[in-house]
Structure 1
Amino acid sequence: MKKIALLMFLAIGFYSCNNDDLGTRLNYSIAEITGAELPESFDSGEIYNIDVHYELVNACHNFVSFNFNEFEDPESESTYVIEVAAITSYDANIVECTQEGELSGMSTIQNISFNNMNYSTYRFKFLTGYGENEDEQFLIIEVPMQEVEN
């Protein structure tokens, strides 16, 4: 009886390790940012929404969120750099995408405020893709801070 129980246990264990039915397995990718709508200048303490336009790889991809990398420009202490990438997800089990749908999209970066008066310029670098040597390509838009009137 113990042998049968052991064999049943092993059979269930091997069956549960079967990879035929993985279900949805999400992977992530980068969408090409094609444009952004920014004001001509920023006012300290004001709140802004920035519309970002992107192009999906195919209709099987879905926009997820934005990824940010922020730092002070190493060549200019008065410039703050914000790199923006559009993140998408897709089912890694789908070998060939046959879905049809809109590939162009727009999402909004909401409620951004610029209160640090140490910077006179904010440089937005929107990731548009990668070059031949896998180097990042950016759409660069610089927005100055409005001078505070006393």
Structure 2
Amino acid sequence: MKKLFAVMLGLFAMLSFSACDLSDDDATNFYYETMEITSATFPEYFEFGKVYPIEFTYKRPTDCHVYSGFEYNHTGETERTIFAVATVLDRNDCIELTDTEGTDSFDFQVRYTNTYTFKFYVGEDESGEKQYLTYEVPVQETATE
């Protein structure tokens, strides 16, 4: 058992001291950026306790923008702010895209009886103020027949 431990320790030490060449410039650099959300789909109302799929559409500005998901913030008990996030390849040859949209969705569980407000990030105006598409969805205790 001691020999096995010594061999494993030696192997670990060898791997720990091996070096990587960090001067390799062939790697693609990237950063994250929010993208414009152009629309979202909601029911007329929510029923308390149910789960709803919420679909939204986002716009890719260049071919270097690769959709990587979304982020959301609780900005109040029944207010949600949603951002579409792209991984942007840091290249000089990006091509601007027109009319290139994608869709994604998330499941939303209704946990409160107050009206929900969803704010989808669309970008900033000329003065740097964040702009949102806003949807308000009321909640009903039970379904109406």
Taking structure 2 as the reference length, the TM-score comes to 0.76
- TM-superposition CA deviations, 1:92-146 (whole Å, max 9, x none): 1x1121487972111111x2111223xx110000001101121100000100001
1:71 and 2:75 correspond? yes
Of the structure 1 ranges 32-41 and 140-149, higher mean CA displacement relative to structure 2 is found in 140-149
Superposition map of 1:1-150 within 5 A: 16-18=21-23, 20-21=25-26, 23-72=27-76, 80-92=78-90, 94-98=91-95, 103-109=100-106, 111-117=107-113, 120-148=114-142
Number of matched pairs: 125
Alpha-carbon spacing, 1:99–1:141, altered in 2? closer, same or farther (3 Å): closer
**Equivalent pair of 1:62/1:90 in contact (CA under 8 Å):** yes
Distance 2:97 2:60 in 1: 12
| Structure 2 segments unaligned to the other structure (5+ residues) | 1-18
Distance 2:103 2:117 in 1: 20
Runs of 4+ in 1 over 2 A off after TM superposition: 15-21, 98-102
Alpha-carbon spacing, 1:100–1:53, altered in 2? closer, same or farther (3 Å): closer
Which amino acid is 2:87 matched to?
S
Distance 1:81 1:50 in 2: 15
Structure 2 counterpart of 1:76: none
Alpha-carbon spacing, 1:138–1:98, altered in 2? closer, same or farther (3 Å): closer
Which amino acid is 1:61 matched to?
H
Fraction of identical pairs, as percent = 29
Distance 1:107 1:99 in 2: 21
**Equivalent pair of 2:37/2:59 in contact (CA under 8 Å):** yes
**Equivalent pair of 1:41/1:146 in contact (CA under 8 Å):** yes
**Equivalent pair of 2:60/2:97 in contact (CA under 8 Å):** no
